[in-house]
Structures are given as C-alpha cells and as structure tokens.
Structure 1
Amino acid sequence: MNLQMKIKEKNKASRPTKSNPPDGTAVTVVSASDHASANADGLQSDKIFEEISRCVHKTGDQLVSKVNAVFQWDIMDGGKIVAQWTLDLKTGSGEVYRGASRKPANTMFILSEHDFMELALGKIKPQKAFLIGKVKVKGNLLLSHKLETILKEYMKG
C-alpha cells in the first residue's frame, strides 16, 4: 500500500461531518471525541513524517547517496509554527526527526498543515502550490524537485 493510500485509510474514521445551513455558509461539526482524538493524536502531518521515517529507515543509504541534502518543514497555523520536521538525507544513512534541523538545512518548506496534507495526498501538485503561494521555499529550490522525485520512487511500496 503506498503512502497516499495509507493516509487516506487512517483519515477516513476521523473526518468531521459537514452540514450546510439554509443561508449557504458551510459549517463543520466536530464531536467532542473527534476534538479530543485530534489533540491526542497530534497533527495529520505527523503521520506523514512517520511514514517517511519508515521509508528512510529501510532505504536511507540509497536516499543519502542520491539526494545528499537536509530539508526542514515548518508547519504553520495562524502565522505561528506548530510543528517542525527535518529530513536529513546528507548524514549517515539518513534520519527523520521532529524539530528544527540540527545543521543548516539546504531547503526549508513553510506551509500550513492543510496545504501540507493537500500535497501529501496528491490533491495539489508541489509546483502549483509553490506558484500560487501555498508553499514558501527557502534555500535550494532545485533540491526540492529532486526530493519529490526520489520520495515518489521510494514511497510506492
């Protein structure tokens, strides 16, 4: 099962319901148990990085030799960083960890939790997200394309 299918399966049970009142505004109804579960489980992006970590654990040596870079993600909410993740594909056999990069990152991605999930689930292409301002990139933009290509190859299995 690929990464997108795994995440869709995990998310099916915890989706909030939507109802549309007569005035046309959209309302999301979240039960108390859904809210507690979301807080206890953390961000949805955490699950993505756990999957990436499993991939790096299995094929890190190959990824390091192909990518040779450090990437940091700043997940934002309301203008504040709510999570940071680092993918080190430069040292040893690679590593994924929560927090800011321990060494200078070659590329940093700054985006909202929602936009990160849209990218991870394939609902928006990375290039489009960048061009319309949903993702800000600091550092080497070309490495981000290389990372996308390599991760797609390794995450299929």
Structure 2
Amino acid sequence: MKAAEETAASEFYVALTVAAKNSPENAPGLQSEMVFEEIGRRIREVGIQLVKNVSAIFQWDIMSGELMVAQWTLDLKTGSGEVYRGPSRQSANAVFTLSEHDFMELVLGKVKPQRAFLVGKIKVKGDILLGHRLQTVLKDYIKL
C-alpha cells in the first residue's frame, strides 16, 4: 500500500511540474512577448488616442500545438489602454487563437489577417469585424 501511495504522489508531482512548466507565464523566449512589450510601450505613449479610435478589448491565445504557451490582453477600451499577460479582466470583444508562428507572420505583414482567418490559421471568438481596428496597432510594429 505504501509503495502505491509513493507512486501516486510521485506521478502527481510530475504532473504538477509539467503543468507549471507549460503555463503561459513560463513561456520564455517567445517572439510574441517582444511584440506585446512593444505594443505596451506604444500604449503608454498614445493610449488615450488608441482607446478613442479602437474602443475594444482583444485577447490573444498563443498556441503551440494544443498547448497554450502565452495569453495576452490588449485593452483599448478603458482608461488610457493597457496590455497585460493573461485573460481579459472584462469580457473581451474578440479572442484570437493562433500559433506563435502564425502570430509573427501576421504581425510582420507576411500574411494578411483575412487570408489567415479563411485558411484556418486564426480562430476568432466574438466580433471578428473589430479585427481590422488592430491593424493600426500592429502596423507600427512592422515598421520596427
């Protein structure tokens, strides 16, 4: 009985360790992280104007296969705007789910958002038409 308990405890520890390593907060070195940091810098500079122009909350679920490796929220609806890790604190107007690779292709302008959506590289929950408002924010990143 004791051996079975030790095995179960060991398996539980391994499962927790794997889950902790695979959580969105522990996804080092993702290129998308740099993009969202730059978007955050831009929001600090001109957030009030972006909130006036965009007036929406977007959540990005960045995937690697079936595993979410990062989650970011871009709030351009309240205050002077903000970008932060994790799920939206309020109801997001649109949630985008895509791979890290497809996100970078989109941000770098190598693929058009409409094309990526039509071929299934981006999944959208919520108001898909709000996506065009993001182009204002993402175009600035392409210039960098």
Residue 112 (structure 1) aligned with residue 86 (structure 2) = no
Distance 2:105 2:139 in 1: 19
User: 1:40 offset after TM fit, Å?
Assistant: 8.3
Greater Cα radius of gyration, structure 1 or 2: 2
Q: TM-score, normalised by structure 2?
A: 0.76
RMSD: 1.8
Identity of aligned residues (%): 64
User: 1:152 offset after TM fit, Å?
Assistant: 4.8
User: 1:56 offset after TM fit, Å?
Assistant: 0.7
- The counterpart of 1:77, out of the listed 64, 67, 75, is 64
User: 1:42 offset after TM fit, Å?
Assistant: 2.3
- The counterpart of 1:134, out of the listed 121, 124, 127, is 121
- The counterpart of 1:94, out of the listed 81, 98, 103, is 81
Pairs within 5 Å for 1:53-72? 53-72=40-59
Residue 151 (structure 1) aligned with residue 144 (structure 2) = no
Residue deviations 1:87-120, cap 9 Å, x none?
Answer: 0001100000011101100001000011101111
Distance 1:99 1:145 in 2: 22
Counterparts in 2 of 1:77 and 1:90: CA distance versus 1, 3 Å: same
Counterparts in 2 of 1:77 and 1:68: CA distance versus 1, 3 Å: same
Name the one with the larger helix percent.
2
Distance 1:139 1:132 in 2: 18
Q: TM-score, normalised by structure 1?
A: 0.70
Equivalent residue pairs, number: 118
Paired residues of 2:61 and 2:95 also in contact (CA < 8 A): yes
Structure 2 unmatched ranges of 5 or more: 1-25
| Counterpart residue number, 2:112 | 125
- The counterpart of 1:43, out of the listed 30, 38, 44, is 30
Distance 2:27 2:117 in 1: 31
